[in-house]
Amino acid sequence: MLLSTKNLSFSHPRQQAIHFPDIQLTSGESLLILGKSGSGKTTLLNLLGGLAQPATGEILIDKVSLSDLKGQKLDLFRGQHIGIVFQKPHLITALTVFENLQLANFFSKKKNDQLMQLLKDLGLADKSKSSVLTLSEGEAQRVSIARALANQPKLILADEPTSSLDDDATQKVIDLLKEQAEKIGAGLIIVTHDQRVKNHISNFIEVKSS
């Protein structure tokens, strides 16, 4: 089992606790996290990525309990094993496309000689030397996917990767995420309230706030 969670809950300050359904995910499998706006989908993704600590429950990734990792160890574990695609690309604007990917490798102490191939797979080969400031929104989104994949993670977490994209681009981004996850044998979890994504991935859990 790549990922398993049990009895997870989280309380934002002055908010009712959110209880999450348990997740079981094997390598190569895809899962959607669905739920209304404000139900706690991003909160769950943050817990799975070790970016927030649960109030109760446990998260095991490849048999490692995230709660046993702190500080630098947690950062290194995240960098090496978890690729996160955030809602907004959050690229380093002073760097080129290729340098943004190299930086991901640098922080996680990983070497990947397939970065150029990755950009090719995502239709970005001719943008490798471009400043990220010159990219369209869809291109920047694909670069942020490439960056999440740059360390060949075991688990890919994507938060609303298609919310600002049209139907064609949505299909392309979901296909790319699935193809790339399959290529490196990773598990893929996508948070969305985009009904279109349901046509591409059938496995889902639903987060409800009460």
**67 vs 64: CA distance, rounded Å:** 9
Count other Cβ atoms within 10 Å, centred on residue 145: 24
Binding to ligand ATP by residue 13, rule CB under 6 A? yes
Among 19, 183, 193, 200, binds ligand ATP (CB under 6 A): 193
Binding to ligand ATP by residue 53, rule CB under 6 A? no
At residue 42, the 3 state secondary structure works out as helix
Nearer to ligand ATP, 39 or 105 (CB): 39
60: β partners: 4, 65
Nearer to ligand ATP, 22 or 182 (CB): 22
Q: How far apart are the first and last CA of the chain?
A: 29
CA distances from 126 to 89, 120, 144, 173, 191 (A): 19, 8, 16, 18, 30
**Of 10-18, 55-63, 91-99, 117-125: span binding ligand ATP (CB under 6 A):** 10-18
**Of 33-41, 52-60, 63-71, 98-106: span binding ligand ATP (CB under 6 A):** 33-41
Tell me how far, at minimum, the Cβ of 188 lies from ligand ATP, in Å: 18
Nearer to ligand ATP, 35 or 50 (CB): 35
Binding to ligand ATP by residue 35, rule CB under 6 A? yes
Q: What is the DSSP string of 94-107?
A: TSBHHHHHHHHHHH
Among 23, 25, 34, 40, binds ligand ATP (CB under 6 A): 40
**75 vs 62: CA distance, rounded Å:** 16
Tell me how far, at minimum, the Cβ of 161 lies from ligand ATP, in Å: 13
**5 vs 24: CA distance, rounded Å:** 7
Among 5, 30, 42, 96, binds ligand ATP (CB under 6 A): 42
At 159, which helix (H) or strand (E)? strand 155-159
Tell me how far, at minimum, the Cβ of 200 lies from ligand ATP, in Å: 19
Binding to ligand ATP by residue 200, rule CB under 6 A? no
Note the Cα 38 to chain centre separation in Å.
19
**51 vs 201: CA distance, rounded Å:** 25
Tell me how far, at minimum, the Cβ of 15 lies from ligand ATP, in Å: 5
Tell me how far, at minimum, the Cβ of 123 lies from ligand ATP, in Å: 27
Residues contributing to the site for ligand ATP (CB under 6 A)? 12-13, 15, 35, 37-43, 193
